[in-house]
């Protein structure tokens, strides 16, 4: 019996042996046939749910290979500071949220970006103290590598003008008074974050449900969650309840390598819907916060070349953890943005591979944002995945050259060069840092247009990739990165029925229109979880 039949469509299969079809049939969550509409009609019964696609495009369900998924679900209910244009608007949004919560409750959320303010200055605690005297506030910058804390939150964390910078962090202080401005970068933010009450398990389940509903609306049927054990616990409960509408691969902190090794787990470990995927680590920070680690100083801050992340301290600990993880056979996904951070991480990866011998590792570098030309070639030689987030370049391209100059920018978001070097391109959003919508990412990778309109032909246009390259990075390649290419990533008989239906054929329309294409339907495990009301 066929449970679901999609007919009269344009099916992009991802299978080079049969790249296109018209229709497909699903039984018990699995694709059983792909072909012409007439063929599929011959399989249906009176109990089959038949969807006439009327020429709509069908793709494998999108995998977002880099999210902060549970946090994204929570962020849907927190103060949203994205797009704030002024000090007054920034402060008003926070004040409104504090009034809604009532005295004593933490005001959380963020997404602020000082470059969008009319004064282009970083926020200070004085902007919000008067309206939040009874509420501690901790709101993150858009890149999650800096936060603004108000005076109440600084008191709770014990941060004063005498407080030293922690390893891998910076407490920004007023040059005249020596007092904290409230801006905390990298590991310094952890001093406040550690004081925020842990959400209840019920709140985590609510956030997970919100995240799943949000993702389904964009055709996302799998996510790679860069989080911790609490995310795994929440999604495990959702899986137990049969409530997952996307497959979740959880990466836990690399500091947990010893625990996982002792349990003798071999990721990807778990069910078809939920897997412990591997270990996530950090080498540096972000470009926007000035904490990405470069070989040479920033053009706009000549006294600084960025920061190594707190996980790099004490010196040598990251290399030890990579070696330990590799000996235990654990996949790695480690954040590196600056060219020095990427070089240092490539060195550590190569040293571990040499010491422990050849194996199908599928290790990743998360972001791989700024690279020296010679290091691009190493990605292919080492068999790495470049886990990148195209939507970031839409914003970064407006200002990155002011920070690092046009020379270093030539190998920024070097998607085509990485692909040509043999790296496996894997796309994600970094949600909630950027929208989870894969169509935004596809358009960004294909056009490389920036949001200021100053690069109509693309910022560093030689690094554009094709629509097919971009779609594969969200489907075929993402499945490979998760060791599940035998289960999903293409539309073929025997694969899981995770699908997205789009109202227009993104392979046939002008590339600059892709982000405006609508998701008509999302199918997860053979069930329609979005659309077709």
How far out from the chain centre does Cα 429 lie? 4
Of 85, 98, 93, 90, nearest to 183 by C-alpha is 90
Of 144, 157, 67, 159, nearest to 106 by C-alpha is 157
Positions in the chain short of pLDDT 50: none
CATH fold, domain 73-193, is Diaminopimelate Epimerase; Chain A, domain 1 (3.10.310)
Instruction: Classify each residue of 430-458 as buried b or exposed e, where b means 16 or more C-beta atoms within 10 Å of its C-beta.
Output: bbbbbbbbbbbbbbbbbbbbbeeeebeeb
Which pLDDT value is given to residue 208?
97
Q: Give the angle 277-288-152 at the CA atoms, nearest 5°.
A: 90
User: Where are the strands (E) in 71-145, listed by range?
Assistant: 79-80, 107-112, 137-141
Which pLDDT value is given to residue 8?
98
Separation CA 38–CA 171 (nearest Å) = 66
Q: Which two tokens stand for residue 504?
A: 């227009």
The label of the residue with tokens 């990412």 reads 441
Helices (H), 64-142: 69-75, 87-101
Bridge partners of 183, per DSSP, are 148
pLDDT digits (tens, 9 = 90+) for 37-73: 999 999 999 999 999 999 999 999 999 999 999 999 9
DSSP structure string for 500-529: EEESS-TTTS-GGGGGGPPEEEEEETTEEE
Which pLDDT value is given to residue 533?
65
Entry pTM: 0.91
The C-alpha R_g of the chain, in whole angstroms, comes to: 23
pLDDT digits (tens, 9 = 90+) for 219-270: 999 999 998 877 889 999 999 999 999 999 999 999 888 777 776 777 778 8
Which pLDDT value is given to residue 99?
95
The label of the residue with tokens 């920036």 reads 450
What are the boundaries of each domain within the chain?
Answer: 73-193
Length reported for the chain? 533
Which pLDDT value is given to residue 20?
98
Which pLDDT value is given to residue 267?
76
Of 333, 320, 295, 291, nearest to 308 by C-alpha is 291
């Amino acid at each position: 019996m066929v449970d679901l039949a999609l007919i009269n469509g344009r099916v992009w299969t991802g299978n080079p042996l049969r790249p296109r079809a018209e229709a497909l049939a699903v039984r018990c969550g699995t694709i059983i046939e792909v072909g012409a509409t007439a063929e599929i009609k011959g399989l249906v019964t009176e109990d089959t749910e038949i969807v006439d696609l009327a020429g709509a495009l069908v793709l494998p369900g999108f995998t977002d290979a880099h999210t902060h998924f549970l946090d994204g679900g929570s962020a849907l209910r927190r103060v949203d500071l994205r797009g704030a244009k002024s000090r007054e608007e920034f402060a008003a949004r926070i004040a409104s949220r504090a009034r809604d919560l009532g005295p004593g409750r933490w005001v959380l959320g963020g997404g602020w970006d000082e470059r969008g303010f009319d004064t282009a200055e970083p926020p200070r605690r004085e902007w919000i103290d008067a309206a939040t005297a009874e509420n501690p506030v901790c709101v993150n910058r858009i890149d999650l590598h800096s936060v603004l804390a108000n005076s109440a939150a600084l008191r709770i964390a014990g941060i004063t003008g005498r407080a030293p910078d922690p390893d891998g962090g910076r407490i920004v202080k007023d040059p005249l008074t020596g007092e904290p401005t409230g801006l905390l970068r990298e590991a310094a933010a952890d001093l406040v974050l550690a004081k925020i009450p842990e959400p209840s398990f019920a709140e985590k389940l609510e956030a997970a449900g919100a995240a799943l509903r949000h993702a389904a609306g964009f055709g996302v049927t799998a996510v790679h969650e860069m989080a911790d054990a609490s995310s795994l616990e929440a999604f495990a409960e959702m899986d137990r309840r049969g409530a997952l509408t996307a497959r979740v691969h959880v990466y836990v902190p690399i500091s947990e390598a010893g625990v996982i090794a002792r349990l003798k787990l071999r990721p990807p470990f778990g069910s078809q819907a939920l897997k412990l995927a591997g270990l996530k680590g950090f080498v540096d920070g972000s470009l926007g916060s000035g904490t990405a680690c470069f070989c040479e100083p920033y053009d706009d801050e000549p006294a600084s070349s960025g920061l190594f992340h707190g996980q790099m301290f004490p010196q040598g600990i990251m290399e030890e953890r990579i070696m330990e993880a590799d000996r235990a056979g654990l996949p790695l996904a480690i954040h590196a943005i600056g060219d020095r951070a990427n070089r240092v991480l490539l060195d550590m990866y190569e040293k571990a591979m040499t010491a422990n011998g050849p194996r199908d590792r599928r290790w990743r570098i998360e972001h791989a944002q700024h690279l020296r030309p010679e290091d691009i070639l190493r990605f292919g030689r080492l068999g790495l995945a470049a886990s990148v987030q195209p939507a970031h370049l839409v914003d970064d391209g407006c200002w990155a050259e002011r920070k690092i100059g046009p020379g270093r920018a030539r190998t920024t978001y070097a998607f085509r060069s990485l692909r040509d070097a043999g790296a496996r391109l894997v796309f994600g959003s970094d949600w909630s840092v950027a929208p989870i919508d894969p169509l935004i990412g596809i358009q960004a990778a294909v056009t490389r247009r920036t949001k200021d309109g100053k690069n109509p032909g693309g910022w560093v246009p030689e690094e554009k990739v094709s629509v097919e390259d971009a779609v594969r990075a969200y489907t075929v390649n993402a499945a490979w990165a998760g060791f599940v290419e035998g289960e999903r990533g293409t539309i073929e008989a025997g694969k899981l029925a995770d699908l997205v239906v789009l109202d227009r054929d993104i392979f046939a329309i002008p590339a600059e229109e892709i982000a405006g294409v609508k998701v008509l339907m999302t199918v997860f495990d053979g069930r329609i979880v979005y659309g077709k009301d």
